[in-house]
Structure 1
Amino acid sequence: MSPAQKLRDLLASPGLLVMPCCFDALSARLIEQAGFSLSFMSGFAVSAARLGAPDTGLISYGEMVDQARAICGAVSIPVLGDGDTGYGNAMNVKRTVRGYAQAGLACVMIEDQVAPKRCGHTRGKQVVPRDEAFTRVQAAVDARDEGAGVLIMARTDARQTHGFDEALTRARAFADLGADIVFLEAPESVEEMRTFCREVRAPTMANMVDHGRTPVLPPAELEAIGYKIAAYPLTLLSVAAAAMREALASLRAGRHPDPRMSFAALQEIVGFPEYYAEEERYAQPPGKG
């Protein structure tokens, strides 16, 4: 079954999909091993992990595709991917969708920010006019229907720049254009979240950014409001960064950090047991032994 079909089946199933976001192959493996049914390759997290740089449009299409290929090669669960603004005009959007699909992603998110874009919960955002936003989504949907097969998530950041009504208008139009999932970034109240889910005729995603603009709600409440997916874009990155800082502080102070995980457990996470099994299988030529 293709990654896109796996995601379609999940979207058709009952209940909220809790989606921790990944930034590399290791974090994706941990998400799958923890029992989650899907993940999202976060642009913020990949920019931080790969470049050590902020999510302000600095990371390129090629770098994101390369990261997606490594992530998708490490797991069997469907992974959604941040396609930013599509990296250019309508033809660039179509190339982005096709390239992300070839890398193994199940869904590509395309947004309506002005390039270079930035994290949706930070300052300085701008969005393109409606017509340009609609053209981007149409191009992405066309690429899907012309053979890419990958699902399309359409995102609007207009809430912060033009107000909730404009964001809702764009979100409704994205669904009408054929987006498989619609994402209104950074609603600022539970009522706005509820209105968005009620008014948009497509599966919707909530972005749970700690200390961001959107209320962080329990999964049960998000499901009751009407969301289909709850994304946690920075949870793993934040926890990992905090743990590494603590370990480095211990080393700097002359103490040995608490490893928190045995060497054996770490080997298991990255796949040494499976590697050893394969190694033993091919230890002798075929037909021998």
Structure 2
Amino acid sequence: MNASQALTKTRQFRNLLLSEHLQFICEAHNGLSAKIVQEAGFPGIWASGLSISAQFGVRDNNEASWTQVLEDLEFMSDATRIPILLDGDTGYGNFNNMQRLIRKLEQRNIAAVCIEDKLFPKTNSFLKGDAQPLADMQEFCGKIKAGKDAQTDPDFCLIARVEAFICGWGLAEALRRAEAYHQAGADGILIHSALSVPDEILAFKREWGNRCPVVIVPTKYYATPTDVFRQHGFSMVIWANHMLRAAVASMQKTARALKESEHLLSIEDKVAPVSEIFRLQNAAELLEAEERYLPRGAEGTSAVVLAASRGQELGELTEDQPKTMVKVQGVPILSHIVDAYNAVGIKDILVVRGYKKEAVDLPNLTYIDNLEFAETGELASLSQALQSRKGRFQPTIVSYGDVLFNKYIPQALCQEQDDCVIFVDSNWRDQSSYARLGGFAECSVPNSRKAFNAKIYLKQLGKTVPEESIHGVWMGFLKLSSSAASQVNDLLLNMLADPANRRAGIPQLLQELLKRDVPVRVLYTVGHWLDVNSLEDVVQAGNF
């Protein structure tokens, strides 16, 4: 951290204002432009009233309310470490409005405000300036005093902007007003001129001397060498609206090019890459914060969807497509499955195809084809899927291509740290038809309030579990950790070497894991899923 970063923003600005050297600050009008100004090396920011109103698409006549300006300032302040001087127009009202403005600026860590001695609502100085009336000098002095009385930070600065030259009153009036504002407590004077030469502001500075810091805005007399300002002892130069004007010119050029060419090649190499926008937004900080504060959840988790079978029980619906592509609510079952995984952040999804594999063609999925789907079962498909990941195993959720589910299911599976985790629906008496998925489950503890915080494990699974021992029905979901995926990959190769397991399903895998004393964690639920196993199920799925 450098010295300026250790100082408050108000102290930084006061040091700039009182510096023995000429200082420069640059206009910004939102958080992004403010950060760009900071990165360019400027020690301070001018929050231009013209630019802020323009980026809202309204006139510089107080058409943007002062609360809208405050909201914009808050984003600018949060995005930067350097001080901001607000172009506060006329203070947005009388002395009472001025005091409230100062309090709100301090709350948002704004270092200073500049107010001009014209009437509210203000008119931009470069629009018929000589026809604009000046504020009553004593009333404006009262506004300055009220603002200084309202501040709680002694380093907060109030700059009084003298518009006498703009309104055609001449040097004498400019000096008279500047002295009155200085005596009222202004920390600096901004002397403004609409001439294309610096004659007025140089004449003012010669007469004014060094009573207090003098700030200038050389927008109109831009050809004046900067050394002239140094030689005359000015304190600060404001580059007042050039960030906005540069942005407008670039956007106009880009819009015209896109309209004429109708393709992005005409402009892509002339605009900032999206990665630069992310950098300015500090997207990396959010990613780091997610690592610290968010549960690991689905990050790094993949899914395997077993969808090789036809689903002959659906009759004509699966003559030309597998069951996973049967439409529910206008889209294939597989789309619903993918959406549920995507909703919790699982994007790496591998689908094992078989029957009418060419019909399974949803985008952004990885496909593995079980060409022997007619003679093999789920274990063969799962083995092919895991074999394709060999050497780069990761946490994996295995599910079926004909089971719809709420995103709560994969979300809960991802949050568990156990190597092997399954879901069991304890409402098994209403789910007896789903026993085809693998039968009934006996668990270490039945589903109850007492089991809410307990770790529950599978004891046995199958269609022959005695009714008095049944705690639920397995729902067709299996989550494997990275190490478990590797172990299951090896186990499947051994199991499939036995011809008797050629048509075996995942229930046989779970039974084998239990035989080897591998703990299989159980999560209970009631509902949140639907096995599409008949034409009636297809109809019911429309309301899932």
- Structures share fold, TM-score greater than 0.5: yes
Aligned-partner residue type, residue 38 of structure 1: G
User: Which residue does 2:183 correspond to in 1?
Assistant: 176
Listed one character per residue, the Cα deviations across residues 90-138 of structure 1 (whole Å, up to 9, x for unaligned) are 1111111111221211001111111110222221422112222222222
Secondary structure of the corresponding residue to residue 135 of structure 1: helix
1:18 aligns with 2:28: no
User: Which residue does 1:273 correspond to in 2?
Assistant: 284
Give 2:236's match in structure 1, choosing from 226, 229, 232.
229
1-structure distance, mates of 2:213, 2:140: 19
User: Which residue does 1:194 correspond to in 2?
Assistant: 202
Distance 1:166 1:17, change over 3 A: same
2-structure distance, mates of 1:19, 1:129: 30
Give 1:41's match in structure 2, choosing from 39, 44, 47.
47
User: Which residue does 2:227 correspond to in 1?
Assistant: 220
Q: State which structure, 1 or 2, has the greater radius of gyration over its C-alpha atoms.
A: 2
Q: Number of aligned pairs?
A: 280
Higher strand share: 2
**Displacement, 1:215?**
5.1
Secondary structure of the corresponding residue to residue 237 of structure 2: strand
**Displacement, 1:147?**
5.4
Long gaps (5+) in structure 2: 1-6, 297-544
**Percent identity at matched positions?**
27
Listed one character per residue, the Cα deviations across residues 9-63 of structure 1 (whole Å, up to 9, x for unaligned) are 223333111111110000000011111110011000000002x012122121111
CA contact (8 A) 1:114 1:127 kept: yes
**Displacement, 1:221?**
2.4
* Matched ranges for 1:128-143 at <5 A: 128-143=135-150
Give 1:83's match in structure 2, choosing from 88, 110, 124.
88
User: Which residue does 2:73 correspond to in 1?
Assistant: 68
Distance 1:226 1:89, change over 3 A: same
Aligned-partner residue type, residue 62 of structure 1: T
RMSD: 2.0
Aligned-partner residue type, residue 48 of structure 2: S
Higher helix share: 1
Secondary structure of the corresponding residue to residue 21 of structure 1: strand
Distance 1:229 1:219, change over 3 A: same
Secondary structure of the corresponding residue to residue 166 of structure 2: helix
Give 1:6's match in structure 2, choosing from 12, 35, 52.
12
Give 2:109's match in structure 1, choosing from 91, 104, 111.
104
**Displacement, 1:77?**
0.2
Aligned-partner residue type, residue 235 of structure 2: K
Secondary structure of the corresponding residue to residue 117 of structure 1: coil
Higher relative contact order (CA 8 A, sep 6+): 1
CA contact (8 A) 2:165 2:200 kept: no
Normalising by structure 2, we get a TM-score of 0.49
2-structure distance, mates of 1:193, 1:40: 20
Aligned-partner residue type, residue 181 of structure 2: F
Secondary structure of the corresponding residue to residue 155 of structure 1: strand
Aligned-partner residue type, residue 271 of structure 1: N
Secondary structure of the corresponding residue to residue 253 of structure 1: helix
CA contact (8 A) 1:187 1:193 kept: no
CA contact (8 A) 2:18 2:213 kept: no
CA contact (8 A) 2:14 2:155 kept: no
**Displacement, 1:284?**
6.2
Secondary structure of the corresponding residue to residue 101 of structure 2: helix
